[in-house]
């Protein structure tokens, strides 16, 4: 049973509730002062609290997507690495990802004139990852049905980005004020990471191929080079690392990115199958030194010298550490580096 599946969460909640009921019923029977009865009371209380804590942690993990599977939680890795000098054999393209656009608790109705928010339920045909992403459509999306729109892929917890940081409302205000061109914003969690682990989860494939393909199929978005950008402004966590990695490894899709320099350390663990060379390829700083620079523009928050190592055609602009909390400024920066959407 999956770690983030609704059935697993419901089962934990039922078990925790049952444990509390059992604890309340049995405690009066062991109210004595003997060592045995004290031990039973302690066991009942401890067991009930542990089960309640597990249920709470599972709920939080399901929302914020810290761990997407049991292997992810325990660091298991059943895959092996195979390196071949032979040229790859061309394979037919896989079927399009399974996509369902609808509503859920986060996609509340926005105020009139501020656009629409949709949930995109996606099963990646290449990665096999099943998840939900959220899509903000600006008011202009329904006003001009002949227009395609550039895309900002915003990485992070959808609940945090939508409810606490209120990104859709902020974007709507910037667009209405003329400070941001109309853009489609895709809000995606990073619980599956952004590394294609040998024999494990294919997080990079999901974010770089499955998700863009699904958005292309479901919405009128730009297809020209540079019409997608990616943002992960947090000083900690995987969002900034993934934003940098996607832009540097997939410049054919992402023409610009905003990320924080302190977040650029590759994730630890067995993701790389014990291969130092694979880990290096997933290290943005290593790629900056030893790989040809991609034709992208990056905004580097809390720059620690990363920008100084950038070579043309790659371009970098240091951004202040306060930019992590200034989402309108991040959107405006990305908007100036996006290629306008083209006509269908």
Q: What is the pLDDT along the chain (344 residues), one digit of tens a residue?
A: 556 566 777 887 888 888 888 878 877 877 777 788 778 878 878 887 888 888 888 777 665 444 545 544 554 433 333 322 333 333 444 455 555 555 676 776 677 789 999 999 899 999 999 999 999 999 999 988 889 999 999 999 999 999 999 999 999 999 999 999 999 999 999 989 999 999 899 999 999 999 999 999 999 999 888 999 999 998 888 999 999 999 999 999 999 999 999 999 999 888 998 999 999 999 999 999 999 999 999 999 999 999 999 999 999 999 999 999 999 999 999 999 998 866 55
Confidence (pLDDT) at 342: 61
Confidence (pLDDT) at 22: 83
The domains of the chain are located at 6-64, 95-336
Q: Which two tokens stand for residue 92?
A: 């037919």
Which residues lie below 8 Å from residue 21, measured CB to CB, with a gap of 6+? Answer: none
- Measured distance CA(289)–CA(318) in Å, rounded: 18
Residue 203 near residue 194, CB atoms below 8 Å = yes
Closest CA to 182 of 233, 231, 142: 142
Residue in the block written with tokens 């320099």:
261
Q: Residue 262: how many CB atoms within 10 A of its CB?
A: 18
Confidence (pLDDT) at 88: 35
Q: Find how far residue 185's CA is from the centre of its chain.
A: 13
95-336: CATH, from 3.40.50.150, 1.10.10.10, 3.40.50.2300, 3.40.50.1820: 3.40.50.1820
Residue 228 near residue 184, CB atoms below 8 Å = no
């Amino acid at each position: 049973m999956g770690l983030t599946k609704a059935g697993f969460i419901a089962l934990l909640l039922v078990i925790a509730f049952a444990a509390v009921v059992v604890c309340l019923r049995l405690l009066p029977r062991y109210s004595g002062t003997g060592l045995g009865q004290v031990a039973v009371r302690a066991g009942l209380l401890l067991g009930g609290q542990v089960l309640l804590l597990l249920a709470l942690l599972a709920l939080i993990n399901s929302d914020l997507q810290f761990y997407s599977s049991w292997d992810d939680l325990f660091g298991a890795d059943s895959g092996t690495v195979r390196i071949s000098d032979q040229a790859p054999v061309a394979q037919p393209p896989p079927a399009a990802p399974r996509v369902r656009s609808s509503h859920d608790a986060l996609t509340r109705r926005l105020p009139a004139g501020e656009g629409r928010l949709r949930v995109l339920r996606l099963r990646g045909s290449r990665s096999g990852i099943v998840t939900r992403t959220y899509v903000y459509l600006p008011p202009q999306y329904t006003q001009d049905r002949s227009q395609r729109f550039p895309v900002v892929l915003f990485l992070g917890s959808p609940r945090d980005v939508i409810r606490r940081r209120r990104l859709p409302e902020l974007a709507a205000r910037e667009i209405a004020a003329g400070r941001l061109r109309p853009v489609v914003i895709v809000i995606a969690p990073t619980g599956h990471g952004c590394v294609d682990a040998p024999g494990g989860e294919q997080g990079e494939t999901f974010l770089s191929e499955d998700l863009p393909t699904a958005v292309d199929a479901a919405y009128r978005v730009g297809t020209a080079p540079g019409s997608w950008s990616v943002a992960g402004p947090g000083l900690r966590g995987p969002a900034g690392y993934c934003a940098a990695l996607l832009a540097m490894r997939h410049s054919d899709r992402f023409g610009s990115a905003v990320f924080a320099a302190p977040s650029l350390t590759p994730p630890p663990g067995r993701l790389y199958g014990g291969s130092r060379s694979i880990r290096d390829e997933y290290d943005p700083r290593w790629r900056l030194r030893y790989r040809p620079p991609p034709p992208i523009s990056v905004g580097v928050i809390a720059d620690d010298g990363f920008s100084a190592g950038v070579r043309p055609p790659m371009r970098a602009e240091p951004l202040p550490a306060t930019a992590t909390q200034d989402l309108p400024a991040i959107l405006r920066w990305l908007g100036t580096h996006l290629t306008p959407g083209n006509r269908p």
